């Protein structure tokens, strides 16, 4: 065996190395030269054909080539691996001085939050949350509430009509009737109903053609005006602060008799007079009364056996008072800067709470 073929193989390897660009090329080269059927391995297999005196010289030369090739492959492999690591480190570099990425945390709409607070309070008193329809019939919105077609009090609520009989509900009171009917004349009924209502008002700082109401209704045997008063007193303290008092003023609603308007003592000036209470010391927050016997009867309840109270309040107004919001339209224009002012605080309250 000629030692020149050993040199040729060495030379061929050195040449082939020049075109190695990737780790994979190197691995192929390694197999080609040092693998089981590789070129250097082939040289070793030739040993058996040599004379005893040639063997050591030949063996030494082949070993040299093998060490040479193995060394280069190891070094180049290490070089490739280092380069890959460098590139990865570079790609994954974290610049700890970069400002963090901000992501927007949502916050409950102040109106939703107010409705939920009010719901929680009444659920705590054993009320159930009922729902009705925003598109109603004239019958449920008016007639069954003791407001026959020609009743002048219909003018109290400017109505959006789809037809003579179909309208957008002007208040949540139709849910009273629907709930009583579904109870089929048997008490007790104890519900609140939050929802959207619609009136043909021109929008301004205190009016919106669409706003929210929460209706309350309790019907059972022996329900008295004092039950209504006690309930609303608790409500005022829960929502507006423990020192609040309420005041009932005689009023008129066709579906309640007697009817009252309910005021709370001003949480801002505590009765001294300020702009929130228009110097009266009192703030009107809801309408209420004892369910009219006609309403009970039309809904299938015996007015000689059952009595009840009902109230209707506007969460828009409650939220405006509570958070010092001056324009009702803020609730409906969806300006994120407005809503962001009402982020929940860690103690479960809300930034901007004025009470
Ligand atoms: N439905 C009345 C309104 O919208 C409020 C109300 C509800 C009054 C229940 C008395 C009893 O003005």
In this structure, what token pair is assigned to residue 212?
A: 């929210």
Task: Report how far residue 73's alpha carbon sits from residue 296's, in angstroms, rounded to the nearest whole number.
Answer: 97
Q: Which residues contact 135 (CB under 8 A, 6 or more apart)?
A: 162, 166, 167, 168, 169
Task: Report how far residue 267's alpha carbon sits from residue 261's, in angstroms, rounded to the nearest whole number.
Answer: 18
Taking CB atoms and a 6 Å cutoff, what residues make up the pocket around ligand 1? 171, 173, 215, 253, 256, 287-289, 310-312
Do 182 and 295 lie in a common domain? yes
Closest residue by CA, ligand 1 atom 2: 312
In this structure, what token pair is assigned to residue 102?
A: 């901000």
CB 201 within 8 A of CB 160: no
Q: Which single residue is written with the structure tokens 């056996």? A: 305
Task: Report how far residue 141's alpha carbon sits from residue 195's, in angstroms, rounded to the nearest whole number.
Answer: 14
Do 204 and 340 lie in a common domain? yes
105 falls within a domain: no
**pTM (predicted TM-score):** 0.71
Do 85 and 118 lie in a common domain? no
Do 269 and 219 lie in a common domain? yes
Do 119 and 83 lie in a common domain? no
- Centre of ligand 1 from the C-alpha of residue 295, in Å: 13
Task: Report how far residue 39's alpha carbon sits from residue 11's, in angstroms, rounded to the nearest whole number.
Answer: 12
CB 215 within 8 A of CB 176: yes
Do 202 and 260 lie in a common domain? yes
Task: Report how far residue 333's alpha carbon sits from residue 2's, in angstroms, rounded to the nearest whole number.
Answer: 94
Do 54 and 114 lie in a common domain? no
Task: Report how far residue 39's alpha carbon sits from residue 240's, in angstroms, rounded to the nearest whole number.
Answer: 93
47 falls within a domain: yes
253 falls within a domain: yes
In this structure, what token pair is assigned to residue 186?
A: 């048997």
Q: What is the dihedral of CA 240, 245, 250, 251, to 10 degrees?
A: 0
Alpha helices in 92-125 (DSSP H): 110-124
14 falls within a domain: yes
Closest residue by CA, ligand 1 atom 9: 311
Q: Calculate the alpha carbon distances from 73 to 14, 27, 194, 286 in Å.
A: 11, 8, 78, 88
Total of domains in the chain: 2
Closest residue by CA, ligand 1 atom 6: 312
CATH (domain of 334): 3.30.930.10
Q: Which single residue is written with the structure tokens 């001003």? A: 266
Do 213 and 337 lie in a common domain? yes
CB 132 within 8 A of CB 169: yes
40 falls within a domain: yes
Alpha helices in the chain (DSSP H): 3-18, 23-34, 39-45, 54-91, 110-124, 138-141, 174-183, 225-240, 293-298, 315-323, 336-339
pLDDT attached to residue 1: 47
Q: Which residues pair with 189 in a beta bridge?
A: 219
Closest CA relative to residue 45, chosen from 29, 66, 26, 27: 66
- Centre of ligand 1 from the C-alpha of residue 184, in Å: 23
Best probe residue, ligand 1, of 287, 291, 308 (max atoms within 8 Å of C-beta): 287
7 falls within a domain: yes
Task: Report how far residue 187's alpha carbon sits from residue 301's, in angstroms, rounded to the nearest whole number.
Answer: 8
- Centre of ligand 1 from the C-alpha of residue 253, in Å: 7
Do 297 and 179 lie in a common domain? yes
104 falls within a domain: no
Do 22 and 149 lie in a common domain? no
pLDDT attached to residue 210: 96
Best probe residue, ligand 1, of 141, 142, 171, 214 (max atoms within 8 Å of C-beta): 171
Q: Which domain holds residue 75?
A: 3-91
Please say which residue of 91, 118, 141 terminates a domain.
Answer: 91
Do 64 and 172 lie in a common domain? no
Do 143 and 10 lie in a common domain? no
- Centre of ligand 1 from the C-alpha of residue 267, in Å: 24
Task: Report how far residue 169's alpha carbon sits from residue 176's, in angstroms, rounded to the nearest whole number.
Answer: 13
Residue-by-residue pLDDT tens, the chain, 355 positions: 456 788 899 999 999 999 899 889 999 999 999 999 999 988 888 888 888 888 898 889 999 999 999 999 999 999 999 999 999 999 998 888 988 888 877 788 999 999 999 999 999 999 999 999 999 999 999 999 999 998 887 877 799 999 999 999 999 999 999 999 999 888 799 999 999 999 998 999 989 999 999 999 999 999 999 999 999 999 999 999 999 999 999 999 999 999 999 999 998 888 888 888 889 999 999 999 999 999 999 999 999 999 999 999 999 999 998 888 999 999 999 888 898 888 777 666 666 666 5
Q: What are the tens digits of pLDDT across the range 16-52?
A: 999 899 889 999 999 999 999 999 988 888 888 888 8
Residue 306: alpha-carbon gap to chain centroid:
42
171 falls within a domain: yes
In this structure, what token pair is assigned to residue 111?
A: 């109106």
């Amino acid at each position: 065996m000629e030692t020149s073929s050993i040199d040729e193989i060495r030379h061929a390897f050195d040449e082939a190395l020049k075109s190695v660009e990737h780790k994979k090329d190197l691995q192929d080269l390694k197999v080609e030269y040092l693998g089981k059927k590789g070129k250097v391995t082939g040289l070793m297999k030739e040993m058996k054909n040599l004379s005893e005196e040639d063997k050591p010289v030949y063996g030494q030369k082949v070993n040299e080539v093998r060490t040479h090739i193995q060394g280069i492959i190891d070094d180049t492999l290490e070089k490739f691996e280092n380069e890959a690591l460098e590139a990865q480190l570079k790609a994954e570099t974290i610049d700890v001085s970069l400002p963090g990425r901000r992501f927007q945390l949502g916050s409950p709409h102040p109106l939703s939050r107010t409705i939920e607070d009010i719901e929680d309070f009444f659920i705590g008193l054993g009320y159930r949350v009922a729902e009705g329809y925003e598109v109603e019939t004239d019958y449920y919105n008016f007639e069954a509430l003791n407001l026959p077609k020609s009743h002048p009090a219909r003018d109290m609520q400017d109505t959006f009509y789809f037809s003579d009989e179909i309208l957008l509900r002007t208040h949540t009171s139709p849910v009273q009737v629907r709930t009583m009917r579904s109870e089929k004349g048997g008490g007790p009924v104890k519900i609140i109903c939050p929802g959207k209502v619609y009136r043909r008002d021109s929008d301004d700082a205190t009016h919106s053609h669409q706003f929210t109401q929460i209706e309350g209704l309790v019907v059972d045997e022996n329900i008295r005006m004092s039950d209504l008063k006690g309930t609303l007193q608790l409500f005022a303290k829960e929502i507006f602060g423990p020192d609040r008092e309420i005041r009932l003023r005689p009023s008129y609603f066709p579906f309640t008799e007697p009817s009252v308007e309910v005021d709370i003592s001003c949480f801002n000036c505590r009765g001294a007079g300020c702009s929130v209470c228009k110097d009266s010391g009192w703030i009107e927050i809801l309408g209420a009364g004892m369910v009219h016997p006609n309403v009970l009867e039309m809904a299938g309840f015996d007015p000689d056996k059952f009595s009840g109270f009902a109230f209707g309040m506007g969460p828009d107004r409650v939220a405006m008072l509570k958070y010092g919001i001056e324009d009702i339209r803020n609730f409906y224009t969806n300006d994120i800067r407005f809503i962001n002012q009402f982020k929940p605080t860690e103690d479960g309250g809300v930034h901007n709470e004025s009470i």
